[in-house]
Amino acid sequence: MKLRFAPTSPFVRKCLATAIEAGLEGRLELIATNPMDPADDLATVNPLGKVPVLVTDEGEALYDSRVICEYLDALSTDAKLFPAEGNARWRALRLMALGDSILDAGVLRRYESLRPAAERSRAWDERQREKITRALDALEGEAEAFEGVDIGLITVASALGYLDFRFGQENWRLARPTLAPWYAEFSKRPSIALTVPKEAA
């Protein structure tokens, strides 16, 4: 399998963490990709021009991260990250949606910050920041019940890591005395510790 990736993408991190939890990281060939480079052939495998993209052994291209993670989980013979049924399934999927929404808003903020100063919208940035704040507050209210590992918690951890990476000066940990220590402990898992985002060399 081939994974088209960018080293700073939090959605890529989510997929890599899933692969590690599923025991499949050794089957992935990582192909560095720059979605911002018009000369890159990314659009030939994903018409949206976004990473991650997983090309299966059969040659089928899968995107986005939610689809890729479920595919990897389906291949795993280990405990499943996507619970099959019941409340555990809906809780995991809901937390995944919440984490993905933090990432969506965070990436939008990041791109806005890269625009020429005269073209940036402070109101737009603040709107995305408010979404992140509300989501973090919701996670704080639930964090006491977090246990084990599933796709929801992997996504939440990826989101919190991205906030540290891109918006560390905003310190999301303030006033979140339950979520912060949960993340500190969860970050010791190899799947999270080995996938910390880094700027390209």
Sorted by where each starts, the structural domains of the chain and their CATH numbers stand as 2-75 (3.40.30.10), 86-189 (1.20.1050.10)
Residues 6+ apart with CB under 8 A from 71: 54, 56, 62
pLDDT score, position 141: 98
What DSSP assignment string belongs to 94-130? HHHHHHHHHHHHHHHHHHHHHS-GGG--HHHHHHHHH
Distance CA 127, CA 105 (A): 9
Residues 6+ apart with CB under 8 A from 23: 76, 77, 78
In tens digits, what is the pLDDT along the chain, a chain of 201 residues?
999 999 999 999 999 999 999 999 999 999 999 998 888 999 999 999 999 999 999 999 999 999 999 999 999 988 799 999 999 999 999 999 999 999 999 999 999 999 999 999 999 999 999 999 999 999 999 999 999 999 999 999 999 999 999 999 999 999 999 999 999 999 999 999 999 988 754
pLDDT score, position 200: 59
| 166, 159 contact by CB (below 8 A) | no
